[in-house]
Structure 1
C-alpha cells in the first residue's frame, strides 16, 4: 500500500512538530538566562563638601601630615613651588647631617667640642652684624648636645659653623657632605651653601621643607628637644629658645628666621585633635611681615584641624545603582558598610561601581563593590542586592527564544 502525497506531507510535518517540541522546549527551559543589566544610579548619594586648606598666595607655603613612619604626606601647597631661599631653615640640614654622621647615643651628651679662636671670631662677627649669635669664649668646651641645642633652639649662627667644622673638618667639606646627604634622602630642590642659612644660595621648596621638618621631629635627639621631652639638666648650658613663636596657639616652631633674600622663613608643627591624634608640619617662606605670617599660620593649622574631621564618603545602605533583568525583575545595589575618612582638603570623586556578571541571585547576595577615591586613597564597600532577581519561569522562557539563544551564544 502506497502513501498518498498529502499523507506523506502530513507525516513529515507531524514528525517535524514532534522534533521541534522535543528539542525547542528543553532548550528554552534549560538554556542560560542573560546577565542582568547594571545601571549606575543617576543620582548617587551626595558626597560631603570639603574645604581646601587655605594658604598664602605670596611666597611659598606647604602643609603636610606626619605619617607613622615619620615621613611627611603633603596635603597642600601654594605660591612658588620651585626652589627659593629658605633662610635659617638651612640649620635643620646642619644638625640632621651632623647627627647622621655622628649620632648622639640616647641619654648621652656626646663628645666635648672645644671653642677655638675661629669659633670666637665667628661669635664676634655675627654679633657685630646683628645676626643671631650665642656667646662663647676661647678655650671652653661645649658638649655636642649643647651645640646642637644652640643651633636648633637659639638659631645661633656661630654654633652652626662650629658644629659643621667639628663634624666635617671645614665649612667647604660640610657643604659638600650636606648636599650629598640631601641627595641621598631624595630631596630635589633643597641645597645648602653654608651652615647658617644666611646665604641666599640656601634654597628649597616649601613642600620639601615639610619633609625636612618631619625628619627633624623623627630624629632621636632633635625630636625630644622640640617636644619638651629633652628637658635641660643641671649639666646643660643655658640655651634660649628664640625660635619659639605662637606657642600659646599650640604651635611648636622648628625654625624661624629673617634674611634679606628669604624674608621671613617659618617651619612649624602642631598636634591635630580628632578621633586619632595626628601631627602636622608646615613651612612658609618669602613672607614680608609677622602681620602677614601669623594669621596665615593660624589659618593653615585651623584648616588642617578641620580637614582632619572624618566625613562619610560611602553611606551604609545607600543605593549606588541597580540590576535590571530582561524579564522585568530589578534590585538596588546597596552598600553593605559605610566608610568614613578625613578629607585633608581633598574632594571625593564620583563613586565607581564594579559588579560580577550574574543572571539570578537572592536578596542579600554580595555582587560587587563601590569605590570612592579621595585624594590618593581609595575607600570601598561591598554591594549587595536589596531584592531577589529570580528565574522568570517557563512561560517567559518559551515566549522569548531570541533572548535565550543570545544568552546561549554569549555563554
Structure 2
C-alpha cells in the first residue's frame, strides 16, 4: 500500500509541473512583441487621422481674405474753396431743403459787431411771427399818429432813410413791412414796433427773446432801426437771418418784387432802396450804412449747375466803401458758383483696393456706381473702404462699400469683386493645417 501511494504521488507531481510549463509557454506566445505594439499604435493613429484630421481639414473654415486699400484712388478729391475778404466780417451759406442756412465759409474775424440796418430784418421777422400776414390779406390798418410823424421829421433831418408820412395817414401792415424791408425806412420801423408791441422798448424785449429762441446767441437788438451801435451780430448769424427772411412767405414775395395779392395797397409807392448789384444776379436783402457799423450788406443769389438750382445767402459787415464791397460780394458769389459745380467723388468702375486669399487668389474691389456732389467749399475726406469679412466669393458679388464724407454729407457706392475667390481645394487644405486651425479658433473666439 505504501508503495502504490508513493508512485501515485510521484506521477501527480510530474503532471502538475508539466502543466505549468505548458501554461507559461502559452502565455509567452500570447504576449505581443514590441514591434506589434508599435504597429497597432501607428494603425490607430492612421485611423484617427483619416477619420478626424481629414474631415477637419477638408470641411473646416478657411481664413478670411486680407484687404488692401488703394490709397491713391481713395485720396480726397479736389474741391473748390470760397475766398472771402480777410479784412471785413463776412460769411456765405446755401439754403438747404428745409429752409435753413448751411454755412459754407466765414471770415476769421466773424465776431459780434454793429450790424446797422440789418437789425430791421429782426423787426420784420418778429412782427410777422407775432402778427402774420396771409397771401390774400394786407393786415390791419395802422394809423399814423403824431409820434410817427415826429420820427419821420427827426430821421429826415439826421439824414437817415425815411419814407414820407403825414398825420392821419392809414397804412396797412403789409405796406409798413414793405417800407421797413425794401426802403429801410427808420420811421416805419419804429411805427411797426410800437403798433405791434405798444412801445419800442417792449419790442426790444420781445425781439431779444425771439433771437434766443432761434439760437442766434451772438445777435441782439437795442432798437427797431439798427441806428444804435448796440445792435450787434455776426456775419454768420446774418446769413441765418437771411435764410429766415427767405423762408417767410410775405418777406420772400416782397424780395421777389411781388408784394402779395393785388390789393389797393399795391398802389402805394415804396422805393426799393436796398437794391444793389442786381445786374450781377444779386438780390439785396438788407443794405445800410451807419457810423458804428459802416456798410452792412446782406444778399441772396441763385446758383446754377446744369438743371440744378441752389439758393445762397451772404453777409458782410464793417465794409468801408462800395469800391471794396462790390468786388468782394461778386467774388463770393462766383466762388459759391464754382463750389456748387459737382465733382466726381466716387468713380464708377474704379478699384478702391484689393483682396488676397491665403492661397493666392486676388480680386479688385470695384465701385459699382459713380457719385458726384457739390462740395460748396467743404473739404472732402479720404474715401473709407469697408469690407465685410469673407473667405470665398463669386465674381460680381457685393462685398463692401466705399464712402466719402464732404462736410456733414456722405456719398457711397457698393464694392464688388472683379474675379472670384474660390475654395483652394483638398491638397492645399490638407497641407496647411495651421491656417485652418487658426481660422477655426478665430471663428470661435
C-alpha distance in 2 between matches for 1:79 and 1:39: 40
Conserved 8 A contact 2:76-2:383 = no
Q: In the TM superposition, what are the counterparts of 1:167-316 in structure 2 within 5 Å? A: 167-230=196-259, 235-236=265-266, 237-274=268-305, 275-316=307-348
Bigger Cα Rg = 2
Moved more, 20-29 or 292-301: 20-29
1:333 maps to 2:362: no
Contact (CA 8 Å) 2:152, 2:187: kept in 1 or not? Answer: yes
Equivalent residue number for residue 7 of structure 1 = 36
| Structure 2: stretches of 5+ with no match in the other structure | 1-28
Q: How does 1:2-401 map to 2 (within 5 A)?
A: 2=30, 3-44=32-73, 47-230=76-259, 235-236=265-266, 237-274=268-305, 275-401=307-433
Query: 1:26-59: per-residue Cα shift (whole Å, max 9, x none)?
Result: 2111111001111111322554322211111122
Contact 1:256/1:265 (<8 A) preserved: yes
CA deviation after TM superposition for structure 1 residue 261, in Å: 1.1
| Rounded Cα–Cα distance in structure 2 between residues aligned with 1:349 and 1:158 | 51
- Deviation of 1:234 after TM superposition, in Å, equals 5.2
TM-score by length of 2: 0.90
1:91-120 deviation per Cα after TM superposition (whole angstroms, max 9, x unaligned): 000111111111122222111111111111
Q: Whole-Å Cα distance in 2 between the matches of residues 229 and 156 of structure 1?
A: 19
Greater per-residue helix proportion = 2
Q: Secondary structure at the match of 2:107?
A: strand
Kept in 2, the 8 Å contact 1:82–1:205? The answer is yes
SS of equivalent to 2:133: coil
Give ranges in structure 1 of 5+ residues lacking alignment.
Answer: none
Contact 1:151–1:159 (CA under 8 A) maintained in structure 2: yes
SS of structure 2 residue aligned to 1:196:
coil
Q: TM-score, normalised by structure 1?
A: 0.97
Partner Cα separation in structure 2 for residue 122 and residue 42 of structure 1: 67
The separation in 2 between residues aligned to 1:20 and 1:296, in whole angstroms, is: 82
- Secondary structure of 1:89's match? helix
Q: Distance in 2 between matches of 1:38 and 1:45?
A: 14
Whole-Å separation in 2 of the counterparts to 1:22 and 1:102: 88
Q: Which whole-Å CA distance do the structure 2 matches of 1:76 and 1:138 have between them? A: 47
Change in Cα spacing, 1:42 to 1:240, as seen in structure 2 (3 Å) is: closer
Deviation, 1:233, is 5.8
Q: Secondary structure at the match of 1:357?
A: coil
Deviation at 1:82, TM superposition (A): 2.1
Counterparts of 1:150 and 1:142, CA distance in 2 = 10
How large is the RMSD of aligned CA atoms in angstroms?
1.3
Does the 8 A contact of 2:152 with 2:164 survive in 1? yes
Kindly tell me the number of residue pairs found equivalent between the two proteins. Answer: 411
Question: Offset at 1:410?
Answer: 1.3
C-alpha distance in structure 2 between counterparts of 1:11 and 1:383, whole Å: 55
The 10-residue stretch of structure 1 (283-292 or 181-190) with the greater mean CA deviation from structure 2: 181-190
Aligned partner of residue 73 in structure 1, secondary structure? strand
